[in-house]
Chains A and B, each alone.
Chain A
């Protein structure tokens, strides 16, 4: 390898990428907008959906057959529109009422609440009705106790509290880690894809490869120069994605909870608070960066070797698109709950990287798994690089007509 030649090839290919709109979009624009859009979308959607369901619920008719006046009164006071009916269940089934309440005589009397669980608004109305009924029952119990001269405290002899030992960081890491690892691996592949395609199949299609091959540059220098540029764009994508994620979660204005929803229950606010506890300190970032490097070399070399087979950019795209799914599938598996990561599982490329990112963020990464991941990905990189170089030396690949 001659440094001046390598530098010339690297410089030229990088310039080419920086002027390629398609490559820039997948490398810079997509990583910068995907995450804010995703989080912003979820943040807006969840409260909006809740508010809508609740609004609709309050406008629904409630079909009733109630004999106890106190219950009827309680429901009416809460603002529900009651419609008397002989067959409450049928009314809900036929959607002529959003929900239904039926009282069956007995000791004690039994009250059924009918909902159509497949309908958000009906479910919300059912929840609301149950809340009102529970409140009514509690009030009645308290009244009875007071009448008998007994202190209300007998109702709560002890309090049960649920304490989650996972801790804030682990919870946040679990959420963030699986999302991050998965999205990063996906975006790294798509971010490098256009660069690689343009340098291989694209050059073949535009017939610019021949002049380069007839120059004094060695094949190994050409492959190295081009793959270095591919690695650069993959790493640039990874860094931009990470940065955009961190920025969105820490700073972006996430809309507050919708009207009528208790702040503590707002899932987005909750998510954000948890995510805020993730320590993106130097050692975590450094470890993640270490994971990225062999992964980027492997992805770049593999995509290079595959797209070299294609005669045109389009053909190359059809070869690489399934690769993205092959990569994503194991990365998705990493999100499965209860999956125990063993060193053997760390031999699976891409999956191992998204798992390690997950592990680093939850603080659960074992050094054995880390080492196996690094070693495996480095070995795959070396093999893929060899393959790419071998293909680049094969005239049947370069001059396929």
Chain B
């Protein structure tokens, strides 16, 4: 479903000059699978996901989502994805319901279908109590739930989620994790970035460890244990980063 091959992205800025934020990354994710992109701050997770969501153009390499090329068919790609970016804001003057109605119509849902889907995601994420409260009056958790609801609303085959539980308390994070597992069960292809070890271990079928823009290792927990000779993901992670545990 997602096939990434040799994807690179370089940024040029006055202070650092040109530097590679993502360096020749290759992996793929199947339908019904959660693939975790695990990496420290500045590793290039967000940049990779933004390229897949066609927000940034790759410097080289490419990827396909549901068979559509991110460089040549960006519009078709965007019709396939539900995208949640790490530091994504919410419309402050719109309620969660209005926000979802807007994104429903952008994704081509008619009014009837939009209403049904909105009711479903509100129920699933336990959002009914604040569905009609303006965005700027919501708590962090409520905002994040709305952002997730927006990504799930149109029932896209591919989900690209960038640190969806960052800044959330355990009950809310669990709520969101449940929604992700639910989506996996219904056969979605899910790319999930995080730097929380437990979450990666618990949710992801396979994990790719990224650091300095490079993929250091890819595999199931078993694969990673074998490769590093360590048991816990935290130790594996530090080992792959070249840091003593």
Asked, given contacts A214-B53, A214-B78, A215-B106, whether A207 binds B88 with beta carbons under 8 Å apart, the answer is yes
Complex interface bits, A217-259 against B, C-beta within 8 A gives 1, otherwise 0: 1100000000000000000000000000000000000000000
Interface size for A (C-beta < 8 A) is 26
Q: Is A155 an interface residue (CB 8 A)?
A: no
CB distance from B76 to the nearest CB of A (A): 9
Q: Is A399 an interface residue (CB 8 A)?
A: yes
The answer to whether A216 touches B147, judged by C-beta atoms less than 8 angstroms apart, is no
Task: Give the contact stretch, choosing among A13-21, A40-48, A274-282.
Answer: A13-21
The answer to whether A19 touches B93, judged by C-beta atoms less than 8 angstroms apart, is yes
Task: Give the contact stretch, choosing among A4-12, A97-105, A335-343.
Answer: A4-12
Complex interface bits, B79-93 against A, C-beta within 8 A gives 1, otherwise 0: 101010101111111
The answer to whether B89 touches A208, judged by C-beta atoms less than 8 angstroms apart, is yes
Partner of B106, one of A8, A19, A206: A8
Q: Is B231 an interface residue (CB 8 A)?
A: no
The answer to whether B83 touches A211, judged by C-beta atoms less than 8 angstroms apart, is yes
The answer to whether B55 touches A399, judged by C-beta atoms less than 8 angstroms apart, is yes
30 contacts between A and B (CB under 8 A): A4-B105, A4-B108, A5-B106, A8-B102, A8-B105, A8-B106, A11-B102, A12-B91, A12-B102, A15-B94, A16-B91, A16-B93, A16-B94, A19-B93, A207-B85, A207-B88, A208-B90, A210-B50, A210-B85, A211-B103, A211-B147, A212-B106, A213-B55, A214-B85, A216-B75, A216-B78, A216-B107, A217-B106, A395-B56, A399-B50
Asked, given contacts A15-B98, A16-B94, A216-B78, whether A211 binds B150 with beta carbons under 8 Å apart, the answer is yes
Docked complex Cα distance between A9 and B103 (Å): 9
The answer to whether B89 touches A12, judged by C-beta atoms less than 8 angstroms apart, is no
Partner of A215, one of B50, B57, B98, B107: B107
The answer to whether A216 touches B106, judged by C-beta atoms less than 8 angstroms apart, is yes
| Main SS class of interface, A | helix
Sample of 18 more A-B contacts, CB < 8 Å, known A12-B102, A210-B85, A398-B55: A4-B105, A5-B106, A12-B94, A12-B98, A207-B85, A211-B103, A214-B53, A214-B78, A214-B81, A214-B83, A215-B78, A215-B103, A216-B78, A216-B106, A216-B108, A395-B56, A395-B57, A399-B50
Residue in chain B with minimal CB distance to A205: B89
Docked complex Cα distance between A398 and B54 (Å): 13
CB distance from B165 to the nearest CB of A (A): 17
Residue in chain B with minimal CB distance to A218: B75
Complex interface bits, B56-87 against A, C-beta within 8 A gives 1, otherwise 0: 11000000000000000001001101010101
Interface size for B (C-beta < 8 A) is 29
The answer to whether B107 touches A211, judged by C-beta atoms less than 8 angstroms apart, is no
The answer to whether B88 touches A211, judged by C-beta atoms less than 8 angstroms apart, is yes
CB distance from B138 to the nearest CB of A (A): 13
The answer to whether A206 touches B92, judged by C-beta atoms less than 8 angstroms apart, is yes
Interface residues of A in 319-334 (CB under 8 A from B): none
Complex interface bits, A124-139 against B, C-beta within 8 A gives 1, otherwise 0: 0000000000000000
Q: Which residues of A contact B150 (CB under 8 A)?
A: 211
Docked complex Cα distance between A16 and B106 (Å): 16
Residue in chain A with minimal CB distance to B151: A211
Q: Which residues of B contact A207 (CB under 8 A)?
A: 85, 87-89
The answer to whether A210 touches B88, judged by C-beta atoms less than 8 angstroms apart, is yes
Complex interface bits, B207-230 against A, C-beta within 8 A gives 1, otherwise 0: 000000000000000000000000
Docked complex Cα distance between A7 and B54 (Å): 23
CB distance from B216 to the nearest CB of A (A): 25
Q: Which residues of A contact B81 (CB under 8 A)?
A: 214
Q: Which residues of B contact A218 (CB under 8 A)?
A: 75
Q: Which residues of A contact B106 (CB under 8 A)?
A: 5, 8-9, 212, 215-217
Interface residues of B in 20-58 (CB under 8 A from A): 50, 53-57
Complex interface bits, A382-401 against B, C-beta within 8 A gives 1, otherwise 0: 00000000000001001100
